[in-house]
Structure 1
Amino acid sequence: MHGIPADVAAVPSQHTGPDARTSAPRPSGAGTPWWIWALAGGLFLLYATLSLRIHQRMLSRSFDLGIFEQVVRSYATGRLPVSEIKGPDFPILGDHFSPVLALLAPFYRVWPTTATLLVAQAALIAVSVLPLARWAHRTLGARAAVVIGLCYGLSWGLASGVGYDFHEVAFAVPLLAFSLTALGEGRMRAALWWALPLLLVKEDLGLTVIVIGLVIARRGGPPARRMGLALAVAGGLVALLVALVVLPAFHPQGFAGYVASHGTDPGQGGGLVELARRMTVGLVTPETKVATLMLVWAPTLFLAVRSPLAWVAVPTLVWRFASDYVAHWGTGLHYSLVLMPIVFAAFVDALHRRRTTPAGLRRYLLGAAGVCLALLPSHAFWQLTEPATWRTDPRVAVAERLLAKIPDGATVQASDLLVTHLTSRTSVSLFGWADSRPDPQWIIVDTRVPMERRWPLSVPAEAIALERAKADGYRTEAQQDGFVLLRRGQP
């Protein structure tokens, strides 16, 4: 263990030229300073606290936290993953390829609650701080490691993921951080092995694996070139196999159903014309996409784009900006979670490769810290400073009492924000969602959801649906503070 030394100067390379640098011997991680572990531990507590408080205040969504809990619960009981929220016994491997979620099954068996997923996500993201901070410490000095570790750990992209429930791509965050750190340090074999599991996280990450392989091939000697090209080929083949065979095979409607559920409207110009537009001018229009692109690189003062590691971000940016789903274009939700380890790994790499002087390093670190602090109030981590986060609405206790009336194992339809409080012990789907299991034993609805959180039904549509349920034989079991609990009458 070491204290924080006072050095801030960049550590000069022992080699000359990029090829020599990438052939440097593998550095040991045994000397990781205690304060890097403390930094990661502190960020873990921050992430877990924010996620758990959001859930405790009944602000978690069915899409996607409820879906993922049902998937993990399936694995924990020895079944192929299904999600009742997506549809009755819907096989989730026909929607997205994320078998990595099975790793959470043992933990869920011990602690069968939504909190298991939220704490696991916090741990996965916090672990990603370690390789980046250690790399910065070895190459740029202790103060650089502190600043880069904090700026990364508090970055807006991580905040958008932590503040929006749980997502499978949390597994990709440490894998990318370890892989790109190894790549930057010239440990090409380690970079390859850390990248390979990305193929089990989500189908689109196969494209990311291809680029990592190409960067390995470009930066290394002949053995690394062979490894990199093999990784790129493997990534491409697995991505094609998953997209063309695995996902359609699991989808209830086969290939046509899978394409329809993930397809996009080709528009009036025809499929090829529309595809060409999206892959050219469509990548920078509307202006939301340009704003997002600027914000992705702004935390590093745009220096990260000078590193070859920045190419690893391209597949994610392209598929997002080529999509016709508006949420993919902006900075909300979780879609930038996987970009942050890439951006900050490229930042460390660029600072090291250009042999930044001590004065230049100080300027970059001050600038990065300034951007981080300026962005904090506009993203989810700032919620921890707001009094409302630490107050619990009295209606939460009412909801918990009514939810407790629903027996374990029952079939239920529930409002969006109530679903995740039933996923661990019932077969729950979404009230008002067309694909939900029909004729559940119980229905529970919060009729006072604020307009900005209301989905999928408007207030009038929800009232009509409740009256229709009563007309179909459901009787009111309880009603209090806007919550309505219905039970199906005996035939």
Structure 2
Amino acid sequence: MLIKRPTRRQILSNLPTLLLALGFLTYCLGISALGLRRHAALQTHAYDLGIFDQLVWSAAHGHGLYSSILGWHFFGEHVSPILYLLAPLYWIFDDVRSLLVFQTLALASGAIPLWWLAKKHLQNPWLALLCALAYLAYHPLVYVNLYDFHEIALATPLLLFTFWYLDENRYWPFALCLLLAVLCKEEISEIVFILGLYCLIKRRQKLLGAGLMLAGLAIFALDIWVIIPHFRGSDFAFVSRYAYLGDSVPAIIKTLMTRPGYVLEHLCTKTKLEYVLAVFGPVGFLSFLSPSHLLLALPTLAQNLLSDYQPQISINFQYTAPLTPFVFIAAVMGFKNLQGYLSTNWPVGRSRTLAMWIATALIVLLGLRYLADHPTLTYAKYLNPSKDAERIIANLERIPAQASIAAQDSLVPYLSHRRQIYLFSKKHQAEYIVLDSSLAKDKQSDAQYLNSVQDALRQGYAIIYQDRSLLILRKQVQGSTELPAEFMEHLNL
């Protein structure tokens, strides 16, 4: 039987799909490798990889979601039941690195529904490929991916799948993906509400729209005023990031409605303008050409821009994760609107060609600008972890697996597979303390750090092991209480 060779037309028609698969694979392998090397270089942190590692490990072993680092059940911090669904990951790969790889695979999967959406609405597989690759190269996405692990990162692909299934009128998978997104974090309830408003106004689906709006409000109220206070023993703590607006959610809403000039004054700052440029610049600002779809980005965008907490107005952290899907959805629909506008003034063939070249030029030129400081270049310095990092990590095996430990920030993610792990700089009653003076000092000055170490030695801890700048202390045992010279030489006093 003769096998026909594919024609040139068939090869070209399949080429965008093959290139997307190549881009997906490159992202997964490259970003996973970079994230793992960053971890190997002791550049991951207690906040938040250590916290999430302990939570998933604890859930996998039937201990619930209590965080010894925070000092309460995680639902007192954020309502993130999705963490229970991650527990099976540790039944198979009981290693913190599996969280980092899983996060990469999850974020990369968002390119798939975006590709489907762009192919459907732009009617051009090459433009769809451009959108999907722009997503995989998107600065905020890569920063979220490489900055430890966060449950909110999982909302990015889930929201993209949610919108795709809504656009296809496939309501059961739509409901499932939206439910999973809601399980990621309490702030997704705001997106549920705005998605309902979108269905009501744009899609003319009164029942679905009203249902989603009511569900969003109910979930928000339940999370903020019932679940979090119950587990924390106090009100929702993150209101403090909006202190200039009020000391409670109702007070903040009142200020937003009655003092628009005051609010605008806090919004119009150089830092916040740069944030908006960094979010929308890589897609050529095409998102602004579809206001109805950009509306879906409003909850997260407003939440970040209204905050006075600096990480929220930076693309370097996890706070853009729920925003990213709607930046790209609006960009796709904005480009579709651009095509429609041009087709009213130009012949159909020419208008599509012109629109394609305009969009491509915008994304490529702005992409070249942003590639100059791409996150992968920032993190490339971690590709070759030092021998010191390898030595320090190897020495951590000396501590019993079940022992309670207090450790410096970057050591915590290596020790968090246990029920009692603490930051050294915070109050604790740990049996062991692990320190290395060559590493970051948990936001303490060297003098404060030294004082904390000396306090521990005065309170009954003794040095039971030393390797250069690394010390392992244990409570109520015989050992040295003199700090060695190799430990002291890394302190600037």
- Same fold? TM cut 0.5: yes
Aligned partner of 1:377 in structure 2 is 372
- Can you list the C-alpha shifts for 1:17-55, whole angstroms capped at 9, x where unaligned? xxxxxxxxxxxxxxx944433332322222211211111
Aligned equivalents of 1:34, 1:101: Cα separation in 2? 34
1:430 alignment counterpart: 423
User: 1:344 Cα shift?
Assistant: 0.9
Contact 2:267 2:306 in 1 (8 A): no
Give 1:213-228 correspondences, 5 Å limit: 213-221=196-204, 224-228=205-209
Change in CA separation of 1:265 and 1:154 when aligned onto 2, cut-off 3 Å: closer
Aligned length: 451
**Counterparts of 2:296 and 2:228 in 1: how far apart (Å)?**
24
RMSD: 2.6
> Which residue of 1 is the match for residue 392 of structure 2?
399
User: What CA distance in whole angstroms lies between the structure 2 residues aligned with 1:363 and 1:410?
Assistant: 61
The match for 2:333 among 346, 349, 353 is 349
1:301 corresponds to 2:284: yes
Q: What SS class does the counterpart of residue 106 from structure 1 fall into?
A: helix
Aligned-residue offset at 1:185: 5.0
How many angstroms apart in 1 are the aligned matches of 2:325 and 2:242?
Answer: 33
Matches within 5 A, 1:84-483: 84-87=68-71, 90-140=72-122, 141-184=124-167, 191-221=174-204, 224-251=205-232, 254=233, 257-260=234-237, 262-264=239-241, 266=243, 272=251, 275-276=255-256, 280-307=263-290, 308-355=292-339, 357-383=352-378, 386=380, 388-425=381-418, 427-434=420-427, 438-449=428-439, 453-483=440-470
CA distance in 2, matches of 1:487, 1:481: 18
Out of 37, 42, 45, the position equivalent to 2:29 is 45
Residues 144 and 229 of structure 1, relative CA distance in 2, 3 Å threshold: same
The CA deviation string for residues 300-346 of structure 1, in whole angstroms up to 9 with x for no partner, is 22121222111111111111222231221222212112222211111
How far, CA to CA, are the matches of 1:67 and 1:262 in structure 2? 22
Q: Distance in 1 between matches of 2:297 and 2:200?
A: 17
Deviation of residue 195 (structure 1)? 2.4
Deviation at 1:212, TM superposition (A): 1.1
Task: Assess, with a 3 A threshold, how the Cα gap between structure 1 residues 345 and 269 changes in structure 2: closer, same or farther.
Answer: closer
Q: 1:67 to 1:193 in 2, by over 3 A?
A: same
CA distance in 2, matches of 1:355, 1:261: 42
TM-score for the superposition, normalised by structure 1 = 0.85
Distance 1:177 1:111, change over 3 A: same
Deviation at 1:106, TM superposition (A): 0.6
Q: Distance in 2 between matches of 1:366 and 1:6?
A: 24
Aligned residue number for residue 23 of structure 1: none
Cα distance, 1:479 vs structure 2: 2.3
User: What is the DSSP-based 3-state SS (H/G/I as helix, E as strand, rest coil) of the residue aligned with 2:414?
Assistant: coil
Q: Which amino acid aligns with 2:116?
A: R
Compared CA separation, residues 96 and 187, structure 1 to 2 (3 A)? same
Provide the C-alpha distance between the structure 1 equivalents of 2:370 and 2:246, rounded to a whole number of angstroms. 40
- Closer/same/farther in 2, CA of residues 227 and 395 from structure 1, 3 Å limit: same
Stretch moving more, 303-312 or 278-287: 278-287
Residues 222-276 of structure 1 deviation map (CA, whole Å, 9 limit, x = unaligned):
xx3311221121111111111111111111xx2xx23456535745998859944
Say if 2:242 and 2:306, in contact at 8 Å, map to a contact too: no
Quick one: structure 1 residues 137 and 405, their matched pair in 2 at CA, closer, same or farther if it must change by over 3 Å? same
> Are the aligned partners of 1:122 and 1:162 in contact in 2 as well (CA < 8 Å)?
yes
Of all paired residues, the percent bearing the same amino acid is 26
- Give the distance between the partners of 1:184 and 1:354, measured in 2 at CA: 19
- The one-letter code sitting in structure 2 at the alignment partner of 1:258 is D
Question: Secondary structure of 1:398's match?
Answer: helix
1:202 and 1:475 mapped to 2: Cα distance? 42
Q: Look up the equivalent residue of 1:301 and give its one-letter code.
A: G
Kept in 1, the 8 Å contact 2:56–2:86? The answer is yes
Alignment CA distance shift 1:211-1:269 (3 Å): closer
Distance 1:227 1:4, change over 3 A: farther
Q: For 1:192 and 1:300, how far apart are their aligned partners in 2?
A: 28
| Distance verdict in 2 for CA 1:312–1:59, change over 3 Å | same
For residues 412 and 160 of structure 1, the distance between their equivalents in structure 2, rounded to whole angstroms, comes to: 30
Do 1:412 and 1:426's aligned partners in 2 also have CA atoms closer than 8 Å?
no
CA displacement 1:462-485 (0-9 Å, x = unmatched): 111111111112111222332221
Structure 2 letter corresponding to 1:480:
D
Whole-angstrom CA distance in 1 between matches of 2:98 and 2:14: 39
Measure the CA separation in 2 of the matches of 1:310 and 1:316.
Answer: 11
Number of the residue aligned with 2:65: 81
| Residue 366 of structure 1, CA deviation | 2.5
- How far is the alpha carbon of 1:282 from its aligned partner? 4.8
2:476 is the counterpart of 1:489: yes
Structure with the greater alpha carbon radius of gyration: 2
